[in-house]
């Protein structure tokens, strides 16, 4: 949830009220930068997007040396330099039919002839990939020719911050090249090696056939053209899954899923009762959900290992029986083995922190300094305890089971009278941690006047709780079924979950079977 929150991009609430779907569509320049899967269903669909896991932001301002190196290389390649002091002379030399402008971060540098544009683009890319002549690796090279329709032709270069870049493989050099969103529109990038080999083989076969026809021979059988005409690819994706966000990359066998199921899984993954942190003793969050018996997944993706998902497990493994066994597992309902439940299957906890002030806001500072957490009034034989359920410091013991009406803490006010506050919630809980905060570092005589009391609420599975697989296949627990009434294998294995097979065909859930 936290990782996806800081990688989200929202178009704005204004567009959510529009009747058109144009703003929700993913454009070609978003490939590899915005995840096509990780977006919520409903009104924010297509408006709340998430960055792809492989996309990186350029945050550093371009150095003077980098800008100077780009300009020097362009001049060496034959750039007609545009000088503002003599712009009329430069404009007289510029011919729209022969020349194209070169821009660096929106600033005109000069112009080239159209015939030299491919050579200049190739040279810039070569120097960028091989780190030659001081060309920065994040340089975005956008070459727009006259064949691009209504777009303004020219060579547009970008070095400034606030851009997104991603890595692809340059086939000519075999090295990694960083490209930008606008740049990739005018590049031929293959997703798979098989796609590239097939396209290049078709182009080569087409050349052989043309040469045979020119020689007057038989060209052979005419090969059927694919839906997309073959291209001469210059770059290739490092991995097909690099277009997905971090959460979408954690779904195993996502290529076997229906597209909506991949979307649902991204939402389910953010709702899971996982392991949010490891410094539990030092955290006083307002509300935290935590799974008590997490496990490593048996099936994992490459991204799961890359982000070290085992350090923050998000669920448990389960033995699932796909069978119509009772009437309580229709469609999305499911049964849980009572024996597995009693062994701690799917148990969780919710931690809530109450911040309590010893002094009221309605008294002055001098009187507030006399207020403190304490359960004992008087000294010696005259000492009295305000509540037998609390310790001498006015706090409950760690591990105390609290029910409605139980003593929660005791405060001695400015007049010296004790006041016991009771627990008012309907749901019982345990005292997890009690932290007293005082001002002793500033004033040695200052009493402890703030209490951070962390309470633990058990969240074990009950009827109506929602469970989900790693493929967006969500279901509701309908019953705890006795272990002795469960089906079993010839080896004596009983399942943890019973799931109805009618929930598979409508959703194309073949990946869950895999």
C-alpha triplet 243, 244, 247: angle, nearest 5°:
160
pLDDT on residue 361: 78
Task: Assess contact for 376 and 388: CB atoms under 8 A.
Answer: no
- Digit-coded pLDDT (tens) for 311-327: 888 889 999 988 888 76
Q: Predicted confidence band at 225 (pLDDT cuts at 50, 70, 90)?
A: low
Residue 147 is predicted with a pLDDT of 82
pTM of the model: 0.81
Share of the chain above pLDDT 70, in %: 89
Assign 214 a pLDDT band (cuts: 50, 70, 90). low
Look over the chain and give the mean of its residue pLDDT values, rounded to a whole number: 85
DSSP for 159-215 reads --SSEEEEEEEETTT-SEEEE-TTGGGGS-EESSHHHHHHHHHHHHHHHHHHHHHHH
- In this predicted model, what pLDDT tens digit does every residue of 411-443 receive, in sequence order? 988 888 899 999 999 999 999 999 888 765 566
Confidence of residue 213 (pLDDT cuts 50, 70, 90): low
What's the mean pLDDT in 393-410? 93
pLDDT at 474: 84
Q: Is the pLDDT of residue 353 over 90?
A: yes
Q: What is the pLDDT of residues 227-240, one digit of tens each?
A: 666 788 999 999 99
Tokens 């026809």 locate to 213
For 72-127, how does the pLDDT look when each residue is reduced to its tens digit (9 = 90+)?
999 999 888 877 665 555 555 777 888 889 999 989 888 888 889 999 999 999 99
pLDDT digits (tens, 9 = 90+) for 31-57: 999 999 999 888 888 889 999 999 999
Q: Is the dihedral of CA 195, 198, 201, 203 positive or negative?
A: negative
For the chain, what's the residue count?
514
pLDDT of residue 330: 72
User: Can you tell me the distance from the alpha carbon of 470 to that of 362, in angstroms, rounded to the nearest whole number?
Assistant: 53
In order of their start, the domains of the chain are: 64-186 (3.90.1070.20), 258-346+462-503 (2.40.270.10), 348-459 (2.40.50.150)
């Amino acid at each position: 949830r936290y990782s996806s929150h800081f990688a989200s991009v929202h178009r704005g609430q204004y567009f959510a009220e529009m009747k058109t779907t144009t703003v929700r569509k993913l454009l070609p320049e978003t490939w590899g930068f915005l995840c096509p899967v990780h977006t919520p269903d409903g009104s924010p669909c297509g408006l709340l997007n998430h960055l792809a896991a492989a996309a990186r932001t350029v945050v550093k301002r371009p150095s003077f040396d980098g800008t100077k190196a780009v300009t020097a290389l362009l001049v060496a390649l034959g750039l007609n330099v545009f000088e503002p002091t003599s712009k009329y002379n430069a404009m007289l030399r510029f011919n729209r039919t022969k020349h194209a402008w070169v821009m660096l971060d929106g600033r005109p540098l000069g112009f080239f002839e159209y015939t030299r544009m491919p050579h200049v683009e190739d040279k810039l890319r070569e120097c960028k990939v091989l780190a030659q002549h001081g060309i920065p690796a994040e340089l975005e090279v956008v070459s727009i020719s006259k064949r691009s329709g209504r777009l303004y032709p020219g060579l547009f270069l970008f070095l400034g911050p606030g851009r997104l870049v991603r890595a692809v493989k340059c086939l000519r050099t075999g090295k990694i090249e960083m490209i930008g969103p606008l740049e990739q529109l005018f590049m031929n990038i293959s997703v798979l090696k098989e796609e590239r080999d097939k396209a290049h083989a078709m182009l080569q076969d087409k050349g052989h056939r043309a040469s045979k026809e020119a020689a007057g021979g038989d060209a052979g059988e005419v090969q059927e053209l694919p839906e997309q005409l073959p291209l001469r690819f210059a770059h290739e994706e490092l991995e097909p899954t690099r277009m997905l966000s971090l959460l979408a990359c954690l779904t195993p066998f996502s290529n076997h899923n229906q597209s909506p199921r991949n979307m649902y899984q991204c939402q389910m993954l953010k709702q899971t009762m996982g392991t949010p942190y490891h410094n539990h003793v030092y955290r006083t969050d307002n509300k935290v959900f935590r799974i008590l018996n997490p496990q490593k997944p048996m099936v994992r993706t490459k991204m799961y290992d890359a982000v070290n998902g085992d350090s923050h497990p998000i669920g448990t493994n389960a033995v699932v029986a796909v069978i119509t066994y009772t009437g309580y597992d229709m469609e999305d309902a499911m049964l849980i083995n009572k024996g597995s439940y009693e062994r701690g299957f799917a148990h969780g906890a919710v931690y809530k922190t109450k911040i309590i002030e010893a002094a009221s806001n309605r008294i002055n500072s001098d009187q507030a300094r006399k207020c403190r957490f304490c359960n004992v009034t008087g000294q010696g034989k005259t000492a009295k305890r305000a509540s037998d359920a609390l310790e001498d410091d006015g706090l409950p013991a760690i591990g105390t089971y609290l029910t409605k009406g139980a003593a929660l803490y005791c405060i001695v006010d400015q007049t010296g009278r004790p006041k016991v506050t009771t627990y008012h919630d309907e749901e019982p809980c345990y005292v997890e941690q009690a932290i007293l905060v005082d001002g002793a570092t500033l004033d040695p005589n200052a009493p402890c006047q703030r209490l951070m009391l962390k309470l633990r609420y058990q969240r074990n599975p009950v009827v109506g709780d929602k469970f989900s697989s790693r493929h967006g296949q969500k279901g509701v627990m309908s019953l705890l079924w006795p272990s002795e009434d469960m089906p079993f294998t010839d080896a004596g294995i009983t399942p943890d979950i019973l799931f109805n097979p009618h929930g598979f065909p409508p959703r194309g859930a073949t990946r869950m079977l895999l």
